[in-house]
Structure 1
Amino acid sequence: MTELGHGSNVQGLEITATFDPSTDEFVMHSPTLTSSKWWPGGLGKASTHAFVYARLITEGKDYGIHGFIVQLRSLDDHSPLPGITLGDIGGKFGSGAYNSMDNGVLRFDHVRIPRDQMLMRLSQASYKGGKVCAFRCTKAAAIRDNGLCPSDNCRRCFQGSVSYRLHCCKV
Protein backbone atom coordinates (compact mmCIF):
# COMPACT_ATOMS: atom_id res chain seq x y z
CA MET A 1 0.00 0.00 0.00
CA THR A 2 2.87 2.36 0.78
CA GLU A 3 3.76 4.98 -1.84
CA LEU A 4 6.96 7.00 -1.85
CA GLY A 5 5.23 10.35 -1.34
CA HIS A 6 2.47 9.22 1.01
CA GLY A 7 3.71 6.46 3.29
CA SER A 8 0.67 4.65 4.58
CA ASN A 9 -1.71 7.62 4.15
CA VAL A 10 -4.33 5.64 2.22
CA GLN A 11 -6.39 8.65 1.12
CA GLY A 12 -3.26 10.21 -0.40
CA LEU A 13 -2.45 7.28 -2.70
CA GLU A 14 -1.98 8.33 -6.33
CA ILE A 15 -1.80 5.17 -8.47
CA THR A 16 -4.92 4.98 -10.61
CA ALA A 17 -6.91 2.07 -12.01
CA THR A 18 -9.07 3.57 -14.76
CA PHE A 19 -11.87 1.34 -16.02
CA ASP A 20 -12.00 0.99 -19.83
CA PRO A 21 -15.45 -0.43 -20.71
CA SER A 22 -14.52 -0.95 -24.37
CA THR A 23 -12.04 -3.68 -23.39
CA ASP A 24 -13.45 -4.60 -19.94
CA GLU A 25 -10.05 -3.82 -18.41
CA PHE A 26 -8.44 -1.49 -15.90
CA VAL A 27 -5.50 0.69 -16.87
CA MET A 28 -3.05 0.87 -13.96
CA HIS A 29 -0.90 4.01 -13.97
CA SER A 30 1.62 5.71 -11.69
CA PRO A 31 1.18 9.38 -12.67
CA THR A 32 4.03 10.83 -10.59
CA LEU A 33 7.32 9.78 -9.02
CA THR A 34 5.69 10.05 -5.59
CA SER A 35 3.11 7.43 -6.66
CA SER A 36 5.81 4.74 -6.81
CA LYS A 37 4.98 1.80 -4.54
CA TRP A 38 7.86 1.82 -2.08
CA TRP A 39 9.12 -0.74 0.42
CA PRO A 40 6.91 -3.83 -0.15
CA GLY A 41 8.70 -6.97 0.98
CA GLY A 42 9.59 -9.51 -1.69
CA LEU A 43 8.92 -7.04 -4.49
CA GLY A 44 12.48 -6.17 -5.49
CA LYS A 45 13.60 -9.58 -6.71
CA ALA A 46 11.14 -12.37 -5.98
CA SER A 47 7.47 -11.42 -6.47
CA THR A 48 5.64 -12.40 -9.65
CA HIS A 49 2.29 -10.89 -8.57
CA ALA A 50 1.26 -8.10 -6.21
CA PHE A 51 -1.83 -6.93 -4.40
CA VAL A 52 -2.02 -3.24 -5.34
CA TYR A 53 -4.18 -0.53 -3.84
CA ALA A 54 -5.15 2.10 -6.43
CA ARG A 55 -7.72 4.83 -7.00
CA LEU A 56 -10.65 3.48 -9.02
CA ILE A 57 -11.53 5.94 -11.80
CA THR A 58 -14.65 5.41 -13.92
CA GLU A 59 -15.96 7.95 -16.42
CA GLY A 60 -13.71 10.58 -14.85
CA LYS A 61 -15.06 10.04 -11.33
CA ASP A 62 -12.80 8.91 -8.48
CA TYR A 63 -14.36 6.11 -6.39
CA GLY A 64 -11.54 5.93 -3.85
CA ILE A 65 -9.07 3.19 -3.02
CA HIS A 66 -9.69 -0.38 -4.18
CA GLY A 67 -7.58 -3.55 -4.33
CA PHE A 68 -6.26 -5.26 -7.47
CA ILE A 69 -4.18 -8.35 -8.13
CA VAL A 70 -1.55 -7.58 -10.76
CA GLN A 71 0.97 -9.88 -12.45
CA LEU A 72 4.35 -8.14 -12.42
CA ARG A 73 6.80 -10.58 -13.99
CA SER A 74 6.79 -13.21 -16.69
CA LEU A 75 6.39 -16.71 -15.28
CA ASP A 76 8.76 -18.00 -17.99
CA ASP A 77 11.86 -15.84 -17.52
CA HIS A 78 10.97 -13.64 -14.49
CA SER A 79 11.42 -10.41 -16.48
CA PRO A 80 9.10 -7.45 -15.74
CA LEU A 81 6.00 -7.32 -17.96
CA PRO A 82 5.59 -4.41 -20.42
CA GLY A 83 4.81 -1.10 -18.71
CA ILE A 84 6.02 -2.30 -15.31
CA THR A 85 9.16 -0.90 -13.72
CA LEU A 86 10.32 -2.57 -10.54
CA GLY A 87 13.46 -3.30 -8.59
CA ASP A 88 15.15 -3.55 -5.23
CA ILE A 89 15.41 -0.30 -3.23
CA GLY A 90 18.96 -1.14 -2.14
CA GLY A 91 20.63 -0.71 1.24
CA LYS A 92 18.68 0.61 4.18
CA PHE A 93 19.89 3.11 6.77
CA GLY A 94 20.79 1.89 10.23
CA SER A 95 22.25 -1.26 11.69
CA GLY A 96 21.91 -3.24 8.48
CA ALA A 97 19.46 -5.74 9.97
CA TYR A 98 16.95 -4.94 7.23
CA ASN A 99 19.48 -5.09 4.38
CA SER A 100 18.86 -8.81 3.95
CA MET A 101 15.19 -8.12 3.14
CA ASP A 102 14.02 -7.86 -0.46
CA ASN A 103 12.18 -4.51 -0.35
CA GLY A 104 11.23 -3.04 -3.70
CA VAL A 105 9.85 -0.20 -5.77
CA LEU A 106 7.07 -0.50 -8.38
CA ARG A 107 5.69 1.80 -11.09
CA PHE A 108 3.00 1.29 -13.73
CA ASP A 109 2.92 2.92 -17.17
CA HIS A 110 -0.62 2.35 -18.48
CA VAL A 111 -0.63 -1.37 -17.71
CA ARG A 112 -3.85 -3.14 -18.69
CA ILE A 113 -5.31 -5.81 -16.42
CA PRO A 114 -8.59 -7.75 -16.79
CA ARG A 115 -11.58 -6.45 -14.83
CA ASP A 116 -11.79 -9.68 -12.83
CA GLN A 117 -8.45 -8.85 -11.19
CA MET A 118 -10.20 -6.24 -9.04
CA LEU A 119 -11.16 -7.61 -5.65
CA MET A 120 -14.94 -7.24 -5.87
CA ARG A 121 -16.45 -8.60 -2.69
CA LEU A 122 -17.26 -5.15 -1.32
CA SER A 123 -17.13 -3.07 -4.49
CA GLN A 124 -17.54 -3.63 -8.22
CA ALA A 125 -17.03 -2.03 -11.59
CA SER A 126 -18.89 -3.28 -14.63
CA TYR A 127 -20.36 -2.25 -17.95
CA LYS A 128 -24.03 -3.10 -18.35
CA GLY A 129 -26.79 -1.67 -20.48
CA GLY A 130 -24.65 1.10 -21.93
CA LYS A 131 -23.69 2.47 -18.52
CA VAL A 132 -20.50 2.10 -16.51
CA CYS A 133 -21.23 1.23 -12.89
CA ALA A 134 -18.85 1.48 -9.98
CA PHE A 135 -19.84 1.37 -6.37
CA ARG A 136 -18.87 0.56 -2.83
CA CYS A 137 -21.04 -1.81 -0.82
CA THR A 138 -20.35 -1.25 2.84
CA LYS A 139 -23.28 -0.62 5.16
CA ALA A 140 -21.59 2.42 6.70
CA ALA A 141 -20.98 4.00 3.28
CA ALA A 142 -24.53 3.29 2.15
CA ILE A 143 -26.00 4.90 5.26
CA ARG A 144 -23.57 7.83 5.32
CA ASP A 145 -23.65 8.67 1.60
CA ASN A 146 -27.08 7.26 0.72
CA GLY A 147 -25.38 5.03 -1.85
CA LEU A 148 -22.38 5.69 -4.06
CA CYS A 149 -23.63 4.32 -7.40
CA PRO A 150 -23.68 6.96 -10.16
CA SER A 151 -26.68 5.37 -11.86
CA ASP A 152 -30.24 6.62 -11.35
CA ASN A 153 -31.36 2.99 -11.28
CA CYS A 154 -29.81 2.10 -7.93
CA ARG A 155 -31.66 -0.20 -5.57
CA ARG A 156 -30.60 -0.90 -2.02
CA CYS A 157 -31.22 -4.32 -0.54
CA PHE A 158 -30.40 -4.98 3.07
CA GLN A 159 -28.56 -8.29 3.40
CA GLY A 160 -28.08 -9.11 7.06
CA SER A 161 -26.35 -6.74 9.43
CA VAL A 162 -22.96 -6.87 7.74
CA SER A 163 -23.35 -5.01 4.46
CA TYR A 164 -25.62 -3.47 1.87
CA ARG A 165 -25.29 -4.59 -1.72
CA LEU A 166 -25.88 -1.74 -4.12
CA HIS A 167 -27.12 -2.84 -7.54
CA CYS A 168 -26.57 -0.67 -10.59
CA CYS A 169 -28.12 -0.67 -14.00
CA LYS A 170 -31.34 -2.64 -14.26
CA VAL A 171 -30.67 -5.85 -16.11
Structure 2
Amino acid sequence: MTDNFAVAATPQAHAADTEFLVRRGMTKGYQIASLITPPLYTIIAFSRYGRSHFSINRLLRATWVGGSAGECRLCIVGGGAFEYVRSAYSTENKVRRRRIQAAYDTASIRADDHATIGGVLFAVLIPAILWKRANVANLILGGASIGSAVGLLAHHARTVSGDPAPTYQIPEIPLPP
Protein backbone atom coordinates (compact mmCIF):
# COMPACT_ATOMS: atom_id res chain seq x y z
CA MET A 1 0.00 0.00 0.00
CA THR A 2 2.87 2.39 0.70
CA ASP A 3 4.28 1.66 -2.75
CA ASN A 4 1.19 3.28 -4.27
CA PHE A 5 1.84 6.41 -2.23
CA ALA A 6 5.41 6.51 -3.45
CA VAL A 7 4.29 6.11 -7.06
CA ALA A 8 1.57 8.74 -6.71
CA ALA A 9 4.06 11.29 -5.41
CA THR A 10 6.56 10.98 -8.25
CA PRO A 11 7.00 13.71 -10.85
CA GLN A 12 6.13 11.18 -13.57
CA ALA A 13 2.71 10.58 -11.99
CA HIS A 14 2.11 14.34 -11.82
CA ALA A 15 3.11 14.68 -15.47
CA ALA A 16 0.78 11.82 -16.46
CA ASP A 17 -2.10 13.37 -14.53
CA THR A 18 -1.40 16.75 -16.13
CA GLU A 19 -1.31 15.17 -19.58
CA PHE A 20 -4.63 13.43 -18.96
CA LEU A 21 -6.28 16.65 -17.81
CA VAL A 22 -4.85 18.64 -20.73
CA ARG A 23 -6.23 16.08 -23.20
CA ARG A 24 -9.59 16.22 -21.45
CA GLY A 25 -9.59 20.02 -21.56
CA MET A 26 -8.78 19.97 -25.26
CA THR A 27 -11.58 17.50 -25.93
CA LYS A 28 -14.14 19.52 -24.00
CA GLY A 29 -12.98 22.72 -25.69
CA TYR A 30 -13.40 21.18 -29.13
CA GLN A 31 -16.86 19.88 -28.29
CA ILE A 32 -18.13 23.20 -26.97
CA ALA A 33 -16.56 25.23 -29.77
CA SER A 34 -18.05 22.84 -32.33
CA LEU A 35 -21.43 23.40 -30.74
CA ILE A 36 -21.15 27.20 -30.68
CA THR A 37 -19.42 27.92 -34.00
CA PRO A 38 -22.09 26.98 -36.62
CA PRO A 39 -24.90 29.17 -35.23
CA LEU A 40 -22.46 31.97 -34.43
CA TYR A 41 -20.97 31.90 -37.92
CA THR A 42 -24.43 31.82 -39.50
CA ILE A 43 -25.56 34.85 -37.52
CA ILE A 44 -22.40 36.80 -38.32
CA ALA A 45 -22.45 35.87 -42.02
CA PHE A 46 -26.08 36.82 -42.50
CA SER A 47 -25.86 40.04 -40.53
CA ARG A 48 -22.59 41.22 -42.05
CA TYR A 49 -22.66 40.00 -45.64
CA GLY A 50 -26.22 38.93 -46.34
CA ARG A 51 -27.54 35.76 -47.84
CA SER A 52 -25.51 35.96 -51.04
CA HIS A 53 -22.18 35.32 -49.28
CA PHE A 54 -23.36 32.37 -47.21
CA SER A 55 -22.35 28.93 -48.49
CA ILE A 56 -22.11 25.38 -47.19
CA ASN A 57 -18.37 25.33 -47.88
CA ARG A 58 -17.79 28.43 -45.74
CA LEU A 59 -20.02 27.11 -42.97
CA LEU A 60 -18.17 23.78 -42.83
CA ARG A 61 -14.78 25.49 -42.95
CA ALA A 62 -15.76 27.88 -40.16
CA THR A 63 -17.06 24.97 -38.10
CA TRP A 64 -13.88 22.92 -38.10
CA VAL A 65 -11.56 25.91 -37.92
CA GLY A 66 -13.62 27.42 -35.11
CA GLY A 67 -13.61 24.12 -33.24
CA SER A 68 -9.91 23.48 -33.55
CA ALA A 69 -8.18 26.85 -33.71
CA GLY A 70 -10.66 29.52 -32.68
CA GLU A 71 -9.43 32.36 -30.53
CA CYS A 72 -11.45 31.64 -27.41
CA ARG A 73 -10.91 29.70 -24.22
CA LEU A 74 -13.40 27.12 -25.45
CA CYS A 75 -11.26 25.84 -28.33
CA ILE A 76 -8.69 23.08 -28.38
CA VAL A 77 -5.71 25.35 -27.85
CA GLY A 78 -7.39 27.44 -25.18
CA GLY A 79 -8.85 24.46 -23.31
CA GLY A 80 -5.53 22.63 -23.32
CA ALA A 81 -3.55 25.71 -22.29
CA PHE A 82 -5.98 26.48 -19.48
CA GLU A 83 -5.76 22.92 -18.14
CA TYR A 84 -1.98 22.86 -18.45
CA VAL A 85 -1.55 26.06 -16.47
CA ARG A 86 -4.12 24.94 -13.93
CA SER A 87 -2.48 21.54 -13.46
CA ALA A 88 1.17 22.56 -13.70
CA TYR A 89 0.83 25.09 -10.88
CA SER A 90 -1.26 22.87 -8.59
CA THR A 91 0.00 20.39 -6.07
CA GLU A 92 0.33 16.74 -7.01
CA ASN A 93 -2.50 15.80 -4.66
CA LYS A 94 -4.97 18.24 -6.18
CA VAL A 95 -4.12 17.15 -9.70
CA ARG A 96 -4.41 13.47 -8.75
CA ARG A 97 -7.78 14.10 -7.10
CA ARG A 98 -9.07 15.96 -10.18
CA ARG A 99 -7.93 13.11 -12.43
CA ILE A 100 -9.69 10.53 -10.26
CA GLN A 101 -12.87 12.62 -10.29
CA ALA A 102 -12.67 12.92 -14.08
CA ALA A 103 -12.13 9.17 -14.44
CA TYR A 104 -15.31 8.44 -12.45
CA ASP A 105 -17.44 11.17 -14.06
CA THR A 106 -19.73 8.98 -16.16
CA ALA A 107 -21.69 11.92 -17.56
CA SER A 108 -18.52 13.40 -19.01
CA ILE A 109 -17.41 10.03 -20.36
CA ARG A 110 -20.81 9.49 -21.98
CA ALA A 111 -20.69 12.98 -23.51
CA ASP A 112 -17.26 12.21 -24.96
CA ASP A 113 -18.52 8.89 -26.34
CA HIS A 114 -21.55 10.49 -27.96
CA ALA A 115 -19.42 13.27 -29.44
CA THR A 116 -16.93 10.76 -30.85
CA ILE A 117 -19.67 8.61 -32.37
CA GLY A 118 -21.34 11.69 -33.85
CA GLY A 119 -18.04 12.95 -35.22
CA VAL A 120 -17.23 9.69 -36.98
CA LEU A 121 -20.77 9.27 -38.28
CA PHE A 122 -21.10 12.81 -39.63
CA ALA A 123 -17.57 12.75 -41.11
CA VAL A 124 -18.98 10.10 -43.43
CA LEU A 125 -22.57 11.35 -43.84
CA ILE A 126 -21.91 15.02 -44.61
CA PRO A 127 -19.59 14.26 -47.57
CA ALA A 128 -22.07 11.67 -48.85
CA ILE A 129 -24.95 14.15 -48.75
CA LEU A 130 -23.20 17.38 -49.77
CA TRP A 131 -20.52 16.00 -52.12
CA LYS A 132 -20.67 18.70 -54.84
CA ARG A 133 -21.27 21.65 -52.52
CA ALA A 134 -17.93 21.98 -50.72
CA ASN A 135 -14.26 21.12 -50.71
CA VAL A 136 -13.52 17.53 -49.64
CA ALA A 137 -11.39 18.58 -46.65
CA ASN A 138 -14.10 20.96 -45.44
CA LEU A 139 -16.73 18.26 -45.90
CA ILE A 140 -14.89 15.69 -43.81
CA LEU A 141 -13.50 17.96 -41.09
CA GLY A 142 -16.60 20.14 -40.92
CA GLY A 143 -18.80 17.05 -40.85
CA ALA A 144 -16.80 15.64 -37.97
CA SER A 145 -17.10 18.92 -36.10
CA ILE A 146 -20.85 19.15 -36.66
CA GLY A 147 -21.17 15.49 -35.67
CA SER A 148 -19.32 16.18 -32.45
CA ALA A 149 -21.79 18.94 -31.66
CA VAL A 150 -24.75 16.71 -32.54
CA GLY A 151 -23.36 13.95 -30.32
CA LEU A 152 -22.97 16.38 -27.44
CA LEU A 153 -26.55 17.55 -27.96
CA ALA A 154 -27.71 13.91 -28.04
CA HIS A 155 -26.03 13.30 -24.68
CA HIS A 156 -27.75 16.31 -23.14
CA ALA A 157 -31.09 15.34 -24.71
CA ARG A 158 -30.81 11.88 -23.16
CA THR A 159 -30.02 13.42 -19.80
CA VAL A 160 -32.95 15.85 -19.97
CA SER A 161 -35.36 13.18 -21.21
CA GLY A 162 -34.83 11.07 -18.10
CA ASP A 163 -31.91 8.82 -19.01
CA PRO A 164 -29.03 10.33 -17.05
CA ALA A 165 -25.65 8.68 -16.91
CA PRO A 166 -25.23 6.47 -13.86
CA THR A 167 -23.25 7.91 -11.00
CA TYR A 168 -20.64 6.02 -9.08
CA GLN A 169 -19.24 6.69 -5.67
CA ILE A 170 -15.64 7.79 -5.98
CA PRO A 171 -13.53 5.63 -3.73
CA GLU A 172 -11.71 7.51 -1.03
CA ILE A 173 -8.03 7.13 -1.78
CA PRO A 174 -5.84 8.54 0.91
CA LEU A 175 -3.19 10.71 -0.62
CA PRO A 176 0.01 11.69 1.12
CA PRO A 177 0.04 15.18 2.61
Between Structure 1 and Structure 2, which shows a larger proportion of helix residues?
Answer: 2
Larger Rg: 2
Normalised by the length of structure 1, the TM-score is 0.25
By relative contact order (CA 8 Å, sep 6+), the higher-ranking structure is 2
